[in-house]
Structure 1
Amino acid sequence: MDNLLTRTEEMLLLMVCRLQDEAYGMQIREEVKKQTGKQYSIGGIYVPLDRLVLKGYLDVQDENPTKERMGRPRRRFILTAEGIEILRKTREMQQSLWNLPEVVLKKNNLL
């Protein structure tokens, strides 16, 4: 596959997909912690999110700045058609990799 996702990129795209209209940076960070038990730093979330935007897998929609946010706009992340396609390809690849004979899965305690 030409455009492989890192595990972090895959996870973040899935979180955006899961959160839909609530896919803001902090909500994504909280959902990652909820789903994985791992606490990511702010940079650990925003850097790969920005990379996914540059790759065309996510779009960003800025909302109007508010007093509570000290005049900063809130950024909502939106999965693009390309993002959906790379997730589909990633899932197919992973399913293909896990398509092992049952005897092998049992032998390695993977069943």
Structure 2
Amino acid sequence: MKKFIPYPINGENLTPSDLLQIIERYLSEIEEPLIGDLTYFSENARYEPNSLQIMSIDETGGHCYSMNFQFRWTIFNGCLDINAQEFTTQSVTFQVKPEGLEFDIIDLFKGLAAEEL
């Protein structure tokens, strides 16, 4: 899935630090797709709101970058006496284009049993 942050680049050569500042301003717009569907961890996994943190941004070549980020998620199941908090680190690639930043987000979801048939 592609997710776009509109930001006029105007031919500027942006550093990873510049990109970090831009992305942090628009983080709420890409937060949900970055986290994805946590059911691949557990049906009871829940994202801990506002825990997403950008760890690093690295240039991979040309106008392409990789962003490493982490977030906290929790599992609570009273019947099984489970109450856990975990941090997960993931990465996403994005391109700097003249009109903004285009993220290439991989959809992570646990599909339904009916979808497996």
TM-score w.r.t. length of structure 1: 0.24
Structure (1/2) with the larger helix percentage: 1
Which structure has the higher relative contact order (CA within 8 Å, separation 6+)?
A: 2
